[in-house]
């Protein structure tokens, strides 16, 4: 029987498929061996052919495992020979392979996301990769189930006492492992000795999971060491063990490539590969998570006060830290889902990810935080802080902010055409303008992708326009109603006969948000209309055209409009209309 479970980032169990087929597994290093020699104490066929299987751009990874009762007679005999009787062999097998080593395999998935680790593999340093995967796994279990680590130590000592050290006297363990990986992997006793040795040495270390991943994976991760895990784990509950580990990793800011857990009898017992079924990773139909605990937020520059933000309630969901004012958890999770949709949409298109915090604040927290920091925009105007490797997006929790106020002051002055546009989007005027600040959170996600895709020094107006274009293109591709609402709100500015003081792109570039709150709102809404016009002619591929333009050697900020006009001829006329707006 084969059982397939799909996990995406920190989602819960979402896809279960049961089939009656049996799948043939590839042998390690294509070495011709007996079935007995393919016993895998921790044998992984990806560890040998690294160029073929280690890919940081993989859509998903398969982790194969099987229950003790499904092992071949030869494989069971291997464990019986060391452990003595069948009941003990099954118990030890379950605890090691269906509890501890599942985390070892998932740690390999985390390793393969990082380019620096990939380089280690390309250089053939499999010894360090295996050692570090075991260190990560041991540190994880020390944090979530310390009593299990004591059992684990007893288990590995039993195997080490029974197995012969394969390293010739006088030779370095690491060098020997790397130079003889093919032969070792074909010999379960020799390869197993190494793995059990790695685990024993990892247990001796006085290092937290954070210490290890900060050094080995990414130095800019957040510290979630103090998060309390109240779950308990039974050996063999592979889906729960895998899922909670993925959730755990995201608390540290680690992005985990989707994992497909496959229960299937195999001579290799347990291993991982780049997925042969990557489409399964897209079959996500639910996103629920049991929060492990509050995350200890890393200190950084936050426009609403680092101390205040760190004091608020927060949860980690799908790789996004969600921070919220008291009483607004449900709304915060709704807005999380909105941002996550756009984040995943562009990840799937560009295989580029961003690390996000969402701060949903009420007026009190918003204003209180601003008093003790450099300050942010007035309440109700979404914005984003960029802190080196991650971003904090601020969204108002209530409808009494500046943007809603600007639009509601025109409630008696909006034209029938504007009202009709809101209606076509499926909203009343009041409903639409109150939802608009939440949608601007997507605009802030757009900024993160502008940055992540390498366009780091765009002119101020161009950066704002591209963030808007990412937003409109995403909405147009996924939610026609919200795309219409986005543009409908673009009509709502200066309806009372007044005109903005500043209207040129030169003014916006030089003054930025200092053009004034209403003027800045007007600029943004004019860009929303432009985004719609550009999308109608170029579609989402306009983003690719801009990336190509930006990376061309002859591109400069002084020829931006001219170059954009070459992509689609609407920018010059749009700039001319801006300049003439207040004349």
Domain ranges of the chain: 2-12+36-282, 297-398, 399-583
To 10 degrees, the CA torsion angle through 210, 216, 220, 223? Answer: 0
What pLDDT is recorded for position 20? Answer: 27
Question: Does an H or E element contain 203, and which?
Answer: helix 188-204
SS3 61: strand
Angle at CA 495, nearest 5°, toward 394 and 360?
A: 10
**Contact between residue 212 and residue 132 where contact means Cβ atoms under 8 Å apart:** yes
Task: Give the DSSP letter of residue 357.
Answer: E
CB count, 10 Å around CB of 428?
12
In whole angstroms, what is the distance from residue 539 CA to residue 449 CA? 17
pLDDT of residue 45: 39
Closest by CA to 61, choosing from 44, 40, 38, is 44
With beta carbons less than 8 A apart as the criterion, state whether 500 and 519 touch. yes
CA–chain centroid gap for 504, Å, is 38
Q: What angle do CA 487, 492, 498 make, to 5 degrees?
A: 145
How many CB atoms are located within 10 Å of the residue 516 CB? Answer: 14
Residue pair 218/114 in contact by the 8 Å Cβ criterion: yes
Q: What gap in Å lies between CA 436 and CA 489, rounded to an integer?
A: 7
How far from chain centre, in Å, is Cα 282?
14
Tell me the β-bridge partners of 30: none
314 strand-pairing partners:
323
Structure tokens, 316: 């980690």
Distance CA 453, CA 354 (A): 10
Q: What are the tokens at 94?
A: 């379950």
Please name the helix (run of DSSP H) or strand (run of DSSP E) that holds residue 7, with its range, or none. strand 2-7
Q: Which helix (H) or strand (E) holds 184?
A: helix 181-185
Residues in CB range of 403: below 8 A, 6 or more apart: 380, 381, 433, 436, 437, 440, 521
The reported pLDDT for the residue numbered 361 is 95
What would the DSSP string read from start to end of 500-542?
A: -S--SHHHHHHHGGGG-HHHHHHHHHHHHHHHHHHHHHHGGGH
Residue-level pLDDT at 483: 96
The span from the CA of 360 to the CA of 383, in Å, is 11
Find, among 320, 321, 328, the residue nearest to 362 by Cα.
Answer: 328
- φ and ψ at 511, to 5 degrees? -100, -25
pLDDT at 262: 84
* Nearest in space to 443 (alpha carbons), one of 376, 533, 382: 382
Nearest Cα neighbor of 285 from 511, 525, 578, 8 is 8
Q: What is the pLDDT along the chain (583 residues), one digit of tens a residue?
A: 444 444 444 332 222 222 223 232 222 222 222 222 323 333 333 333 333 334 455 678 888 899 999 988 878 888 999 998 999 999 999 999 999 999 999 999 999 888 778 788 888 899 999 999 999 999 999 999 999 999 999 999 999 999 999 999 999 999 999 999 889 988 888 999 999 999 999 999 999 999 999 999 988 888 888 766 666 788 888 888 888 888 888 888 887 888 888 888 777 778 888 876 655 433 322 233 333 345 566 667 777 777 778 888 888 777 788 999 999 999 999 999 999 999 999 988 988 878 888 999 999 999 887 654 555 788 999 999 887 667 899 999 999 999 999 899 999 999 999 999 999 999 999 999 999 999 999 999 999 999 999 998 899 999 999 999 999 999 999 999 999 999 999 889 888 888 899 999 999 999 998 998 889 999 999 999 999 999 999 999 999 999 999 999 999 988 999 999 999 999 999 999 999 887 7
On whether the CB atoms of residues 241 and 103 are closer than 8 A, the answer is yes
């Amino acid at each position: 029987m084969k059982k397939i479970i799909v996990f995406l980032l920190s989602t819960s169990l979402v896809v279960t498929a049961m089939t009656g087929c049996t799948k043939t597994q590839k042998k390690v290093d294509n070495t011709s061996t007996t079935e007995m020699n393919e016993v895998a104490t921790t044998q992984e066929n990806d560890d040998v052919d690294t160029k073929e299987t280690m890919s940081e751009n993989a859509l998903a990874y398969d982790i194969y495992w099987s229950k003790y009762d499904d092992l071949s007679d030869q494989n069971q005999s291997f464990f019986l020979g060391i452990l003595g009787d069948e009941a003990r062999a099954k118990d030890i097998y379950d605890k090691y392979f269906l509890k501890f080593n599942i985390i070892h395999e998932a740690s390999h998935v985390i390793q393969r996301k990082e380019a620096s680790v990939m380089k280690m593999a390309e250089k053939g340093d499999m010894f360090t990769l295996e050692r570090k995967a075991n260190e990560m796994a041991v540190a994880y279990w020390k944090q979530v189930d310390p009593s299990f680590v004591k059992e684990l130590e007893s288990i590995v000592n039993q195997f080490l006492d029974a197995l012969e050290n394969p390293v010739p006297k006088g030779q370095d363990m690491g060098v020997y492992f790397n130079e003889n990986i093919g032969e070792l992997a074909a010999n379960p006793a020799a390869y197993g000795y190494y793995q059990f040795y790695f685990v024993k040495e990892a247990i001796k270390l006085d290092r937290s999971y954070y210490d290890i991943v900060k050094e080995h994976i990414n130095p800019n991760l957040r510290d979630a060491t103090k998060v309390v895990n109240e779950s308990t784990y039974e050996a063999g509950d592979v889906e729960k063990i895998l899922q909670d580990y993925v959730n755990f990793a995201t608390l540290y800011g680690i992005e985990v490539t989707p994992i497909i857990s496959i229960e299937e009898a195999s001579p290799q017992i347990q291993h991982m590969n780049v997925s042969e079924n990557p489409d399964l990773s897209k079959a996500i139909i639910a996103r629920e998570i049991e929060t492990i605990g509050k995350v200890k937020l890393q200190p950084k520059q936050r426009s609403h006060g680092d101390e205040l933000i760190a004091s608020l309630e927060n949860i980690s969901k799908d790789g996004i830290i969600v921070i919220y004012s008291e009483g607004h958890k449900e709304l915060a999770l709704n807005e999380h889902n909105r941002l996550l949709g756009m984040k995943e949409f562009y990840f799937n298109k560009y295989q580029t990810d961003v690390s996000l915090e969402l701060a949903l604040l009420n007026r009190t927290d918003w204003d209180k935080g601003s008093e003790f920091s450099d300050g942010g925009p007035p309440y109700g105007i979404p914005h984003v802080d960029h802190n080196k490797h991650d971003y904090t997006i601020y969204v108002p929790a209530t409808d009494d902010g500046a943007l809603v106020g600007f639009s509601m002051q025109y409630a008696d002055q909006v034209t029938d055409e504007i009202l009709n546009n809101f209606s076509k989007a499926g909203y009343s005027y009041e409903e639409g303008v109150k939802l608009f600040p939440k949608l601007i959170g997507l605009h802030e996600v757009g900024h993160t992708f502008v940055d992540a895709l390498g366009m780091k020094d765009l002119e101020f107006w161009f950066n704002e326009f591209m963030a808007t274009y990412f937003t409109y293109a995403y909405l147009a591709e996924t939610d026609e109603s919200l795309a219409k609402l986005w543009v409908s709100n673009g009509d709502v500015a200066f309806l009372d006969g007044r005109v903005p003081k500043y209207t040129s792109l030169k003014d916006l570039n030089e003054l930025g948000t200092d053009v004034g709150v209403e003027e800045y709102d007007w600029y943004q809404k004019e860009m929303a209309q432009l985004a719609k016009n550009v999308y109608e002619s170029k579609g989402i591929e306009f983003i690719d055209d801009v990336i190509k333009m930006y990376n061309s050697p002859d591109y400069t900020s002084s020829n931006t409009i001219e170059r954009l006009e070459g992509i689609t001829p609407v920018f010059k006329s749009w700039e001319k209309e801006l300049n003439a707006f207040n004349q």
